[in-house]
DNA sequence: TAGATTGTTAATCGATTAACAATC
DNA sequence: TAGATTGTTAATCGATTAACAATC
């Protein structure tokens, strides 16, 4: 009996690294480099080669000793593995400055998602298009989400409005929320939340920087 | 002899969580809640109470058994610990849509940084102001960075321009780069790079979503 | 062939979680 | 007082790194 490789068993750090491999492989493809080794990938991305090998293994790809992995095939395999071959339609809620920036991000369809509509509570922003994507009033969301079979919502509203907007998404049957607001969201257990908390990164960066500057000063 | 608590010894996951505590504590302060326990924080942020306690311990704060931590003091201590009490001046390179969004983000000064100038290679964007912040040509950066004692640069240029722009920052004596371009940057060892790779989050989210949808379909 | 590289198993490392005495 | 909570030490868990045989 086959043991299906459930996605649950794949370490999150591995998933987090896969897109970097994609980015690098895309470049190598452009340079027409036919094969690539874990050593080379590791050097470029500052990772242990063994780790790279283990990461790649989760996609099921098989390499050739002494040769490495076929660049093109490796790229395709990772893309396929992440479900990024055909982009799914998603909604964006909150057409402020950050939302607008994401609406203008044309590369998203290379990463598995296509923003097909935006929503905002402010009537002044509705009825227009931003970067070619229509903006509707938030009250239109539930109906459209069902009709368009939307599973994923991107949340770029101000922090005070986040929970309420999230509730609308959940009420509309959405299954996953990519949350850019710096707050914890309450959702039922069947809804997945991925927080994009810029300030977490900033905390790491400022800590390291402070330490580094202090060291320099002491020398 | 004292053992100075170097920042190096603090786990990165802890640093990553501290800002969430800040956000929640800010809210509790508004509600005039005087004390807070690790249990309460853990419930709100979906974390183990013991983990919260250990995280808070790195800041040096001391709680009171049965009572918890004084909310206001805890908030101040974390902010102080992260060096977020007085914001430092930083530059932003790349005044495109994402850069513009970040320039409009007024809350940054609560998180330790203040963007004082933006730079762009496109002459059409220079000489203007965006959200009240002046935009200069990239060639002006080195001189201004030295004069204004800038240590941190935010990189929001397109991926093709990232390495070159990064080199300009490094050449200008910058010590840390917050990189929003989906590529690995080559920098000398004394420069800190913090990557903000949105697609890493997206990989995790789409994997989980795909798994969840597959499960639903099978039931 | 020799040597670089893969695939895999074992060892290490560090973060999370559990256990528990001390405290107000 | 009783019980919730802190602070700390020990156990567990999982990811990273090291070791090594197999391979082209």
pLDDT at B216: 83
Q: What percentage of residues in chain B have a pLDDT greater than 70?
A: 96
Picking from B135, B147, B129, B130, the residue whose alpha carbon sits closest to that of residue B89 is B147
Q: How confident is the model at residue B215, as a pLDDT?
A: 82
- Hey, what are B40's tokens? 């309460």
Find the residue closest to C3 using CA and C1' atoms: A66
Task: Give A54's pLDDT tier (boundaries 50, 70, 90).
Answer: very high
Give me the pLDDT at residue A95, please. 97
pLDDT for res A7: 44
pLDDT at residue number A6: 46
From the list B6, B199, B201, the residue facing A211 with the nearest CB is: B6
- In this prediction, residues A127-132 reach a mean pLDDT of 96
Cα separation of B42 and A89, whole Å?
34
What's the mean pLDDT when you consider all of chain B? Answer: 94
DSSP bridge pairs for A160: none
Q: Mention every residue, 6+ apart, whose C-beta is less than 8 A from residue A29.
A: A71, A72, A75
Task: Taking residues B94-111, report their average pLDDT.
Answer: 94
Q: Taking residues A96-118, report their average pLDDT.
A: 95
Per-residue model confidence as pLDDT tens digits over B154-171: 999 999 999 999 999 999
pLDDT greater than 50 at residue B5 = no
The string of pLDDT tens digits covering residues A64-73 is 999 999 999 9
pTM: 0.94
Angle made by CA atoms A170, A173, A177, in degrees to the nearest 5 = 50
Average pLDDT, chain A: 94
| Greatest Cα-to-Cα distance within chain A, rounded to the nearest angstrom | 64
Q: A22: closest CA among A110, A115, A114, A113? A: A110
Q: Which residues of A touch B17 (CB under 8 A)?
A: 200
pLDDT of residue B3: 37
Task: Please report the pLDDT score of residue A76 as a whole number.
Answer: 97
Confidence at A214, pLDDT banded by 50, 70, 90: confident
Q: Starting at the edge strand that comes first in sequence, how are the strands of the sheet with B88-93 ordered? A: B129-130, B133-137, B113-120, B88-93, B152-155, B176-179, B192-195
pLDDT at residue number A138: 97
B82 touches strand C (CB under 7 A): no
| Whole-number pLDDT of residue A219 | 62
Residue B214's pLDDT band, with cuts at 50, 70 and 90, is confident
H/E stretch holding B27 reads helix B12-30
Reply yes or no on whether the pLDDT at A19 is more than 90. yes
The whole-number average pLDDT for the span B208-214 is 91
Q: What is the pLDDT of residue A216?
A: 83
Assign A9 a pLDDT band (cuts: 50, 70, 90): confident
The C1' atom of D2 and the CA atom of B99 lie apart, in whole Å, by 57
- CA A120 to CA A131: how far, in whole Å? 15
Q: How far is the CA of B9 from the C1' of C13 (A)?
A: 14
β-strands A129-130, A133-137 pairing: antiparallel
Residue A170: pLDDT band (50, 70, 90) is: very high
The CA distance from A40 to A71, in Å, is 12
Report pLDDT for B219: 63
Which residues of A spanning 10-49 put their CB closer than 7 angstroms to strand C?
A: 37-40, 49
Residue B6 has pLDDT above 60, yes or no: no
pLDDT at B150: 98
Strands A88-93 and A113-120: parallel
Does residue B121 surpass a pLDDT of 80? yes
User: What mean pLDDT do residues B67-95 have?
Assistant: 96
């Amino acid at each position: 009996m086959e043991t299906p490789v459930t996605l649950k068993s794949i370490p999150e750090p591995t998933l987090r690294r896969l897109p970097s491999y994609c980015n690098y492989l895309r470049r190598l493809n452009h340079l027409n480099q036919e094969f690539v080794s874990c050593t080379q990938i590791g050097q470029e991305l500052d990772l242990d080669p063994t780790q790279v090998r283990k990461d790649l293994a989760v996609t099921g790809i098989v390499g050739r000793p002494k040769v490495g992995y076929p660049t093109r095939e490796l790229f395709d395999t990772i893309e396929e593995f992440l479900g990024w071959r055909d982009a799914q339609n998603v909604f964006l809620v909150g057409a402020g400055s950050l939302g607008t920036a994401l609406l203008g991000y044309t590369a998203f369809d290379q990463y598995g998602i296509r923003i097909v509509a935006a929503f905002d509570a402010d009537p002044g922003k509705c009825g227009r298009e931003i970067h070619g994507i229509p903006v509707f009033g938030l009250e239109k969301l539930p109906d459209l989400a069902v009709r368009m079979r939307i599973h994923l919502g991107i949340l770029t509203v101000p922090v005070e409005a986040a929970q309420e907007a999230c509730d609308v998404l959940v009420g509309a049957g959405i299954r996953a929320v990519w949350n850019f607001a710096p707050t914890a969201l309450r959702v039922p257990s069947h809804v997945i939340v991925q927080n994009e908390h810029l300030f977490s990164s900033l905390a790491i960066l400022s800590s390291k920087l402070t330490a580094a500057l202090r060291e320099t000063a002491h020398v």
